[in-house]
Amino acid sequence: MTSPEGPYTGAVSTGGPADVRELSGLRISKLSVGPMDNNAYLLECTATGDGLLIDAANEADRLLQLINGISLRRIVTTHRHRDHWQALAYVVEKTGAATSAHPLDGSLLPVPVSDPLEHGDTVSVGQVEFGILHLRGHTPGSIALTWAGDGHHLFTGDSLFPGGPGNTFGNTDDFMSLMDDLEERVFGTLPDDTWVYPGHGSDTTLGAERPHLAEWRARGW
């Protein structure tokens, strides 16, 4: 299950093929699954063939087809919302992968979290190491993953999308918390060329979004 020939764009649709990005040491496969157009990301260390899956969201059979031939070592769930983990239990059963999430969200997942992740932690697959950012607001335990091995890359779950932060459901405190964390922990530390891979829909870059931070705060969502 590979993307058609051509450069990676991050444009995927439910039922369609994965879009695959080849980087130095890391292969990123983005697949859209389920009725809510969730993005699942398979990250493969090309030196070892080991893999990490971000959000076993839905359609376990398609995820297992994507994983086929890769030694899946870990599944990271970005947050507690049901649309991001409906295939988690089945994929864990079939692969034996370890499971990771933030402790504030992990207790609500359908399988125990074997390796909880806090802000500032790292998680590795093969020779590739990812940093963990805790972004509080969309849920108490939402996390993002960063990698800077070949350019800068950020997997944001539902905390950041093209056009603004994730939904905080009208809660002003949660919105301010998420904006504070995005400004400090994301825009305050990562460069404009950072490629953003969100939990739904199209990709973006921090450079494309940075000019709108004040606008997002002013509108309150």
Per-residue model confidence as pLDDT tens digits over 73-128: 999 999 999 999 999 999 999 999 999 999 999 999 999 999 999 999 999 999 99
Answer yes or no: CATH 3.60.15.10 is held by domain 19-219.
yes
CA 65/CA 162 separation, integer angstroms: 29
> Using CB atoms within 10 A of its CB, is residue 44 exposed (0-12), middle (13-18) or buried (19+)?
buried
Residue 79 CB partners (closer than 8 Å, separation 6+) = 101, 102, 105, 138, 139, 141, 142, 143, 157, 158, 159
Rounded to 10°, the helix 88-95/60-67 angle is: 40
pLDDT for residue 3 is more than 50 = no
CA 9/CA 18 separation, integer angstroms: 11
**63, 33 in Cβ contact below 8 A?**
yes
pLDDT per residue as tens digits for the range 24-79: 999 999 999 999 999 999 999 999 999 999 999 999 999 999 999 999 999 999 99
Q: What percent of the chain has pLDDT over 90?
A: 97
pLDDT for residue 162 is more than 50 = yes
> Using CB atoms within 10 A of its CB, is residue 173 exposed (0-12), middle (13-18) or buried (19+)?
exposed
